[in-house]
Structure 1
């Protein structure tokens, strides 16, 4: 069975209508439960504990939840606008998928639907005394859930949509995607060698135009085995593809029939936008976008860019080389994620847009030194390239010779594999 159903199920589960529908189902289940529980409850028990007041409770819930839901929606829209304006529009997706916001809004809207269903049942005579007791008990549980969600919502609103909150979400998304990829660097297949990438056989084009969001590796393995071939997967989630762009090719001279080619192409999920889930570079790029906006003359906030440099280092510091990744799909060879591309995504735009700001340039050089210090063999070559590029940009933009000399000294220290003077030998 194809693994795409799991991907589709995850996408559906993130839709806000899912928990809302669950609360609506709770209202219907309560009506059904009241009928089923009737034989097991004393006829006068509901009267003794005041279950007749359930109608008043439901009316309060119905009227208040509609107001609270409308108010919460306005807050969420305001937070989306704030994130798009102060950070980047690419961060809105993370706010939309915020678990607390979705849970709270779904609870409020679901309770409204539950209250309506209960009122309709009461007015239509569905509930007798025992039924009202069941409805009363469920309503008390629902009221408790509302109180808990209100407390969570009030605490959550203090930071929701603010710049710091948005940056933290972007860093978390980038880190999670990178860690997942590093744990499975070739998505369960072999490493695609340079020779295999440079000698394509039968080429499989993309099914449509857009961004690759995920690959159905299980389906690709099945297709390759049925055709009796090995496949080279040359694109990764986040790549932009079109109908004539190759996404895979056969390793060898064997040709595929049209049906097999269509099946293999359909295992590449292409959509209009990128997602953070399996695309580590997207989170890194989004952080760089925020830094570029902060460095623009209209915003003039170098402090935010300096903070983002630290976040980029924290994300990249998780990079490690797994010696023997698990091989699950022996018929597939997959291109690896490029550390050079990741580091360029993280620092190149900030070096360009902050070229004339000495405080940004100093921090950039020191962050590159920090990465070199973490793992010289892994980060060193790219750190040197980016340091030289940043120095060249700064030389063209800075005015004072003292500032230029400071950056030259930092760049020379990196090339000499020395850290800045510090009693503990650390990059500060």
Structure 2
């Protein structure tokens, strides 16, 4: 699967993840279903409708409308409370995963859609557009809607038991980060050619706004290169902070104003980072969760240890999968992109844990043992970041720990790295 799709598909997917989109879609289907029942009225024998008892559909719709409004209101208030709990106990950056959770959106959309279906059905019944056959069809559809609501409600109750918990938040961050790592492992250059060293030649194109790169449309950049017979070196990949003094890319031919704007339009710049194409953001969020757990107000070293183990799993996964394809598929031959930065991943996850947990021996032991595990993987990309993190962790521990035995325990847990 291609990591970077077109800009418009990316923006459309961003909107489709919002709660209003799914709820609106369910409501539209509900309204259409309620109104279509009147169109098949003449095809259903009236005696069959009387025998089944289709006249009771009005009472059933009334019960459904009243109950669904209550359930939807309760579910929405529960979601808001869960978001607040996740923001206070974990990190506000992780609440986006809860907001975009498909199970929560499906539940709310089902409840709201069922409510609107019942309201439209009641209005249609009161206006007299249904005959006996239409009432029978409406009754059958209502029974299906009730069954769907029951199944959704049971799943939603199970979901509510974990929603907003720190452990569940860590699990979600791990899952989305692992998916981003897998996509990058399948194609490290995102379809372009990798460029290990930053380019020094070419003409810079700079943004006109401040924010984070959320998406780069490499397809449009390739079209630009083919039309103007040039090459482009991308300097800012998803996750990079940009502002008007930092170049987005370098192009081999000097672009005019229109061409420069066209190049800028290939970049989606937002006010916050996203998880999907930015593995580094997942490591940053995990580090923030651990820092919150280690704060004096929370004092939960167990969560910090869980985060360290989660980060270790992710880095082991990348070590096993991220460097296997020596000849990745190149779909954009005129585009150069920088390789993934493992050093930034280490900084985003471990620096804050080493600083905030420096006084707690169990946290520092777990941290340095995870470094020892990563050192045994013999990954060249990990060697320098590991050396820096080990030295930093030992300095923090020596400065913050008061008992010599604790300092020695931490030193004994540290890996022996060349030059250390």
8 Å contact from structure 1 (residues 27, 118) kept in 2: no
Task: Tell me the CA shift for residue 27 of structure 1.
Answer: 3.3
Query: Quick one: distance in 2 between partners of 1:277 and 1:286?
Result: 13
Is 1:414 paired with 2:416? yes
Aligned ranges for residues 315-330 of structure 1 at < 5 Å?
315-319=314-318, 320-321=322-323, 322-330=325-333
Aligned ranges for residues 183-262 of structure 1 at < 5 Å?
183-194=186-197, 197-251=198-252, 254-262=253-261
Residue equivalent to 1:360: 363
Task: Tell me the CA shift for residue 200 of structure 1.
Answer: 3.2
8 Å contact from structure 1 (residues 288, 345) kept in 2: yes
Residue equivalent to 2:278: 279
Is 1:177 paired with 2:180? yes
Query: Quick one: distance in 2 between partners of 1:308 and 1:238?
Result: 21
Aligned ranges for residues 385-404 of structure 1 at < 5 Å?
385-404=388-407
8 Å contact from structure 1 (residues 288, 308) kept in 2: yes
Query: Quick one: distance in 2 between partners of 1:329 and 1:207?
Result: 26
Task: Tell me the CA shift for residue 104 of structure 1.
Answer: 0.4
Query: Quick one: distance in 2 between partners of 1:249 and 1:201?
Result: 5
Task: Tell me the CA shift for residue 53 of structure 1.
Answer: 0.8
Query: Quick one: distance in 2 between partners of 1:113 and 1:137?
Result: 17
Q: Tell me whether 367-376 or 130-139 shows the greater mean CA deviation.
A: 367-376
Is 1:89 paired with 2:55? no
Is 1:65 paired with 2:68? yes
Kindly report structure 1 stretches of 4+ aligned residues shifted beyond 3 Å: 375-378
Q: Tell me whether 376-385 or 261-270 shows the greater mean CA deviation.
A: 376-385
User: Is there any run of 5+ residues in structure 1 with no aligned partner, and where?
Assistant: 418-428
Task: Tell me the CA shift for residue 376 of structure 1.
Answer: 4.4
Residue equivalent to 1:107: 110
Q: For CA contacts below 8 A with separation 6 or more, give which structure has more relative contact order.
A: 2
Q: How many residues align?
A: 411
Is 1:12 paired with 2:11? no
Question: For 1:300, what is the secondary structure of its paired residue?
Answer: coil
CA separation of 1:376 and 1:224: change in aligned 2, threshold 3 A: closer
Task: Tell me the CA shift for residue 44 of structure 1.
Answer: 2.3
Is 1:300 paired with 2:299? yes
Task: Tell me the CA shift for residue 381 of structure 1.
Answer: 3.2
Task: Tell me the CA shift for residue 9 of structure 1.
Answer: 2.2
Query: Quick one: distance in 2 between partners of 1:121 and 1:244?
Result: 61
Task: Tell me the CA shift for residue 416 of structure 1.
Answer: 7.0
Is 1:116 paired with 2:119? yes
CA separation of 1:193 and 1:367: change in aligned 2, threshold 3 A: closer
Deviations along 1:298-342, one digit per CA (max 9) or x if unpaired, are 211111111111011011112121311110001100111111111
Deviations along 1:188-224, one digit per CA (max 9) or x if unpaired, are 1011242xx2413121112422111011111111112
Deviations along 1:144-202, one digit per CA (max 9) or x if unpaired, are 100001110111111111111111111111111122112221111011242xx241312
Task: Tell me the CA shift for residue 234 of structure 1.
Answer: 0.5
Query: Quick one: distance in 2 between partners of 1:355 and 1:416?
Result: 23
CA RMSD of aligned residues (A): 1.7
Query: Quick one: distance in 1 between partners of 2:34 and 2:113?
Result: 16
8 Å contact from structure 2 (residues 206, 247) kept in 1: yes
Query: Quick one: distance in 2 between partners of 1:190 and 1:385?
Result: 29
CA separation of 1:24 and 1:203: change in aligned 2, threshold 3 A: same
Query: Quick one: distance in 2 between partners of 1:215 and 1:127?
Result: 53
Residue equivalent to 1:381: 384
Question: For 1:213, what is the secondary structure of its paired residue?
Answer: strand
Query: Quick one: distance in 2 between partners of 1:263 and 1:415?
Result: 48
Query: Quick one: distance in 1 between partners of 2:83 and 2:27?
Result: 27
Question: For 1:34, what is the secondary structure of its paired residue?
Answer: helix
CA separation of 1:114 and 1:31: change in aligned 2, threshold 3 A: closer
8 Å contact from structure 1 (residues 207, 266) kept in 2: no
Question: For 1:414, what is the secondary structure of its paired residue?
Answer: coil
CA separation of 1:128 and 1:352: change in aligned 2, threshold 3 A: same
Query: Quick one: distance in 1 between partners of 2:373 and 2:229?
Result: 48
CA separation of 1:297 and 1:278: change in aligned 2, threshold 3 A: same
8 Å contact from structure 2 (residues 35, 121) kept in 1: no
8 Å contact from structure 1 (residues 30, 134) kept in 2: no
Query: Quick one: distance in 2 between partners of 1:117 and 1:50?
Result: 20
Query: Quick one: distance in 1 between partners of 2:159 and 2:185?
Result: 32
Residue equivalent to 1:136: 139
